[in-house]
Structure 1
Amino acid sequence: MRVVVLGAGIVGAACARELARAGLAVTVLDRGGPAAATTAHGEGNVLVSDKGPGPELELARMSRRLWEEALTEAGGRPDAGRAGRAERVEWDPKGGIVVATTDAGARGLEEFAAGQRAAGVTAETLDAPALAAAEPHVTRDFALAVHYPEDAQVQPVGAAAFLLGDALRAGAELRTGAEVLGAVARGGRITAVRTSAGTVEGDAFVNAAGPWSGAVAERLGAPVDVRPRRGEVLVTTPQPPTVFHKVYDADYVGAVGSGAEGLQASAVVESTRGGTILLGSSRRRVGFDDRIRPEVLSVIAGKALRLFPRLAGVPVMRAYGGFRPYVPDHLPVIGPDPRLPGLWHATGHEGAGIGLSVGTGRVLGDLLLGREPEIDAKPFRVDRPAVLFEGDDQ
């Protein structure tokens, strides 16, 4: 079977890896370069802490396990991530700490963490001495703190290159500079895509174009409601060891889950292997407007300072922003498109695509090959109300 993956970001790379390693003939198409768009503008989160009980948490937990398996297989050590091909991934199972700074936030966090514990997630309440030991520079003015040891971090572009490299070693082909323009269909089935670099034939086509998946699907004649949602991040100059986990305030889960178009912001603070500190995060629905807004950066900085007052005066050397693939019900879209046989989707992960990528590739591969996935894939189906536009056949 010939499979064409549309998109060379981390989700497309994960799908290509899974399918190529299963023995399929895989071609990956991208209008730019691999991991050059959304993947390059993320933080590298591999999280379970921000997902409540349900299908996305199940996908996250499976993905977390698959990341470690992939790195171990490549000769790396998941506990350090500094050997063999895995080194470029910069795997860091640092864990996450969620901090509530208000009584209302504490009540919400405690309820959220209780639900996660019931679903099998390790969520450990930290008292003041324990929080101070884990994060010496975090605020002491807090109402509740919860530690999630399963949270991890990767370097996004390195992680995508690792997955795509595995796909290429398994026989996949990468073609860049190929923008999807439309579909060629015969007998109601997609048999090829027309691109700016020519027509590419195949037996199956996987729409993994991230925030552009909606536009790609529309060009192919099977539109899905995947929209861009913008996020920004501030990057400090390299610092002495200051932040030891991924630390974020309890408002983060609400910001991610909000469907509001306006600015949703919360404090997310973490260090990188190079010593810089990443300060996030924001969510805005502004189409593909890529302008950096100083007022948004100001809000991000203010919220970060509330969690880490010691960061006051630390120089910020750059800011970046990117688009995340947003779906109104906040669930990924994984599976076949019933309106156009031969078309598959792997998109809609918003800001969780890095962490969910390998799990998505596994689920997509199982479905395409007629195998039963490890987790229930029905909640991610394409023909659900949040994904198809009104009037589409379901």
Structure 2
Amino acid sequence: MRTLPDQEIVVVGGGLVGAALAWGLARKGLSPLVLDGEDLSHRASRANFALVWVQGKGVGAPHYARWTIGAARLWSAFAGYVLETSGIDVGLRQRGGFTFALSDAEMTVWADEVQSVAATLGEDAPDHAVLDHAETAKLVPAIGKDVVGSIYSPLDGDVNSLRLFRALHVGMINLGASYRPHSDVTEIVPKAGGFLLKGTWGEVLAGRVVLAAGNDNTRLAPMVGLSAPTLQSKGQILVTEKCAPFFPYASATMRQADEGGVMIGDSQEADTSSIATSQDISTVLAGRAIRTFPQLAPVNVLRSWAGFRVKTPDGLPIYECSPSHPGACVVMCHSGVTLAANHALLVADEIANRETTLAGDRFSGRRFHVPQH
């Protein structure tokens, strides 16, 4: 016996990807129901670094570089639409972003990456500059002597991570979506005319279903004839007490939020399923931050947390509609903040219009279906 009314379309997952899609679907006049998990589920959205970032992305994958650049260029308009629908300013800042190198080897690797992407994209490449220590210090006087140089891209930036998450939820509900937390989906049963979604909370019949459940898509996707493989990838973040403004840009490993606190990150663990933080990793993160900005040495760390990235085997997104179960699709990516503009304004439109391919069919999960010999 069904416990919820039948739905035209259900989005499974209420993180940044699911909320952006639901916001976009509701903006197109649909009334999606978002089924979300528990507060302590392994959510990438709860540990995001809030970067709008293009620098170095798309090495060997120019289609992904173009997809990312397009999203970054849509972000200003998207932030305005979100403000209109939620009343919440997400604090978008696109003043540019730096990747700081603490050794010549790091500098060489990162310069090679951005130059490789630029060479592949040609006229489509975003602006960037490879700067030595003195050139970097002119733009960011607070850097330490250990910074040998940096990569600067004016298209990069960040947002207020907590406000973005809240704004998407408020906005999607104001536009006509509904949200149900504590509703993990344990089973999806294809039915004539739709899909029966089940959980300990009950069940609901949906005409269409969008899987935006992050790492849990790996379990759910095969139920509707799709594949969404992921790799284990855990990251850790430190947050300091509020400081006087000293870094008005963004960085791949550090950002000063608009309220003044500094977020420090960029660790990767692939061999654990524990959500606990590591003191050893915290020490490394803090040490690199202090070498980059020595004035952080006496600043207190207030919070530390870890989260699991949504990481496919090649690191690129998956956007795919099910050929065997029409009406079902999967959307997943690592860069949920950067790509939120594309998800809300482009992918959601494609889903609302019942397109059979998403994002130009450039990121189908079929790419992982390699015959075994």
State whether TM-score is above 0.5.
yes
CA distance in 2, matches of 1:65, 1:372: 26
Q: CA deviation at 1:228?
A: 4.1
Q: CA deviation at 1:299?
A: 1.8
1:215 aligns with 2:219: yes
CA distance in 1, matches of 2:315, 2:42: 24
Offset from partner CA, 1:29-56 (integer Å, 9 cap, x none): 1023699932121121110113135222
Instruction: Please state whether the residue corresponding to 1:330 is helix, strand or coil.
Output: coil
Give the paired residue count.
359
1:327/1:365 CA distance change after superposition, 3 Å: same
Moved more, 116-125 or 3-12: 116-125
Alignment-derived partner of residue 282 in structure 1: 267
Alignment-derived partner of residue 109 in structure 1: 110
CA distance in 1, matches of 2:308, 2:218: 13
CA distance in 1, matches of 2:188, 2:326: 12
Match among 343, 349, 353 for residue 336 of structure 2: 353
* Superposition pairs of residues 1-394 of structure 1, within 5 angstroms: 2-32=8-38, 37-52=43-58, 54-74=62-82, 85-87=87-89, 89-117=90-118, 118=122, 119-186=124-191, 191-217=195-221, 222-248=226-252, 268-347=253-332, 349-350=333-334, 352-368=335-351, 369-370=353-354, 377-385=360-368
CA distance in 2, matches of 1:224, 1:333: 7
Offset from partner CA, 1:251-289 (integer Å, 9 cap, x none): xxxxxxxxxxxxxxxxx1211112111111211124531
1:371/1:186 CA distance change after superposition, 3 Å: closer
Counterpart code for 2:81:
E
Offset from partner CA, 1:316-373 (integer Å, 9 cap, x none): 12211111111111101112133433321111x22x2111122134443344225599
Alignment-derived partner of residue 264 in structure 1: none
Offset from partner CA, 1:168-203 (integer Å, 9 cap, x none): 22211111121101112235x752211222211112
Contact between 1:208 and 1:345, CA under 8 Å: does it hold in 2?
yes
Q: CA deviation at 1:232?
A: 0.3
Contact between 2:133 and 2:148, CA under 8 Å: does it hold in 1?
no
Identity %: 24
Contact between 1:35 and 1:157, CA under 8 Å: does it hold in 2?
no
1:105/1:362 CA distance change after superposition, 3 Å: same
Given the two structures, how large is their TM-score scaled by the length of structure 2? Answer: 0.86
1:289/1:127 CA distance change after superposition, 3 Å: closer
CA distance in 1, matches of 2:282, 2:107: 26
Q: CA deviation at 1:99?
A: 2.4
Instruction: Please state whether the residue corresponding to 1:162 is helix, strand or coil.
Output: helix
Contact between 1:52 and 1:115, CA under 8 Å: does it hold in 2?
no
Q: CA deviation at 1:159?
A: 0.8
Counterpart code for 1:357:
A
Instruction: Please state whether the residue corresponding to 1:215 is helix, strand or coil.
Output: helix
1:138/1:12 CA distance change after superposition, 3 Å: same
Instruction: Please state whether the residue corresponding to 2:237 is helix, strand or coil.
Output: strand
Counterpart code for 1:319:
S
CA distance in 2, matches of 1:345, 1:94: 33
Structure 1 unmatched ranges of 5 or more: 77-83, 249-267
CA distance in 1, matches of 2:46, 2:109: 32
CA distance in 1, matches of 2:33, 2:231: 25
1:338/1:382 CA distance change after superposition, 3 Å: farther
Counterpart code for 1:217:
A
Instruction: Please state whether the residue corresponding to 2:366 is helix, strand or coil.
Output: coil
CA distance in 2, matches of 1:137, 1:131: 10
CA distance in 2, matches of 1:182, 1:371: 25
Instruction: Please state whether the residue corresponding to 2:107 is helix, strand or coil.
Output: helix
CA distance in 2, matches of 1:129, 1:227: 40
Q: CA deviation at 1:65?
A: 2.7
Given the two structures, how large is their TM-score scaled by the length of structure 1? Answer: 0.82
CA distance in 2, matches of 1:26, 1:180: 16
Moved more, 46-55 or 22-31: 46-55
CA distance in 2, matches of 1:5, 1:98: 36
Structure 2 unmatched ranges of 5 or more: 1-6
CA distance in 2, matches of 1:38, 1:208: 12
Query: What RMSD over aligned residues (CA atoms) do the two structures have, in Å?
Result: 2.9
Contact between 1:29 and 1:176, CA under 8 Å: does it hold in 2?
yes
Q: CA deviation at 1:122?
A: 1.2
Contact between 2:224 and 2:324, CA under 8 Å: does it hold in 1?
no
Instruction: Please state whether the residue corresponding to 2:287 is helix, strand or coil.
Output: helix
Counterpart code for 1:107:
T
Offset from partner CA, 1:95-132 (integer Å, 9 cap, x none): 21122333333333332222344342110233444321
Q: CA deviation at 1:230?
A: 1.0
Contact between 1:139 and 1:307, CA under 8 Å: does it hold in 2?
yes
